[in-house]
A = this chain, B = another copy of it.
Amino acid sequence: MVIDIHGHFTTTPPQVSEFRERQMAQFALDGRILTEPPGVSDAEIRAGIEPNQLARMKERGVDLTLFSPKAVGMDHHRGSEATNVVWARYCNDLVARVCRMFPAHFVGVGQLPQAAGVPPRQAVFDEMRRGVEELGFVGFNLNPDPTGGRWVDPPLWDKDWWYPLYEQLVRWNVPAMIHVSGSCNPHFNAVATHYINGDTTAFVQFLTSDLFKDFPTLKFILPHGGGAVPYHWGRYRGIAQDMGLPPLEDKVLRNVFFDTCVYHQPGIDLLLSVVPSHNILFASETFGAVNGIDSRTGHHYDHTRRYIDASAQANEAQRRQIYADNALGVYPRLRAVCP
């Protein structure tokens, strides 16, 4: 059993992103909220999934993908809470249809209708309830910077801003993947810079706060191999020590997990050698940030299973943890739907 915990519906038909652009244009023009997104046929969904994510999964021996709306498309820094509720519902419904059409291969993870300048509140909680109860979602993507690279809303340890959302995560017994979306800051390329910086930023906010004292059962996944964190594991161990904090194992590793979206062998080797195998979840984010074939290997950069299989840093028992067991532990609702 191999579970990829990080896939996005990046292959929706064109009317989906066109709707968002129309919605944004209308909102900019007169503040009106377009609430009627265009239909998408089953055939269009099939055409998006079968020759792409599903074909790639079969080639690579991936049984199941935790599937969520396109991350760079979450687009929380634009529009308003009202536009973003419509947009999140639309995107989540499309993901839920994929999961219903291919129930053996996809389980849903939801987009939250966050909005810049607006704390997560009822609109977000309503979509969480709908996602879990009606759509069968097992987790959510949480954007730590809904301001799109401006980083002007409060950090993840801000109690007034974020704790009500964490209470909902606990209530529904679901983890959240920390995942930024697009960038409106010219300093930050979205997938090359902002994604990676977002992961590193969240880790340090967890390390330097009491968040997990307040929410001991909360679980977060850091995508993209945890940003810069494993490469600087010594730095973070040393900084924690200098600050008089407990070791990383006690301070964050009961609650924070790393995916394997690291696109070369030495990076995966490093990840597996410094982060305990219990804290690593298989992922590839296929049809995501990097689509090419590495001429040095003849394989796709994002074929992360090859690196894990080839790594001397994990034995068979650890590979089983990484490929499936850890996901079933971190996503309790996945156990109920998993074969």
Contacts and interface: CB of A to CB of B under 8 A. Distances in A.
Interface of A: 145, 149-151, 154-155, 185-189, 191-193, 196-197, 200-201, 204-205, 207-208, 224-225, 227-228, 230-239, 241-242, 262-267, 269-270, 273-274, 289-292, 294, 301-302
Given A188-B201, A242-B290, A289-B239, A231 B234 contact: no
A263 B234 contact: yes
27 contacts: A151-B188, A155-B187, A192-B236, A192-B239, A193-B200, A196-B200, A196-B235, A200-B228, A225-B232, A228-B231, A231-B231, A232-B262, A232-B267, A233-B264, A235-B263, A235-B290, A235-B301, A237-B264, A237-B301, A238-B289, A238-B301, A238-B302, A239-B289, A242-B290, A242-B292, A266-B274, A269-B270
Contacts of A208: 189, 192
Contact of A200 (B197, B204, B290): B197
Contacts of A224: 232, 235
A179 B292 CA distance: 32
Copies of this chain assembled into the complex:
2
A242 B300 CA distance: 12
Nearest to A149: B151
Contacts of A201: 187-188, 193, 197
A16 to B, nearest CB: 22
A204 B185 CA distance: 13
B267 A233 contact: yes
Contacts of A241: 292
A236 B265 CA distance: 14
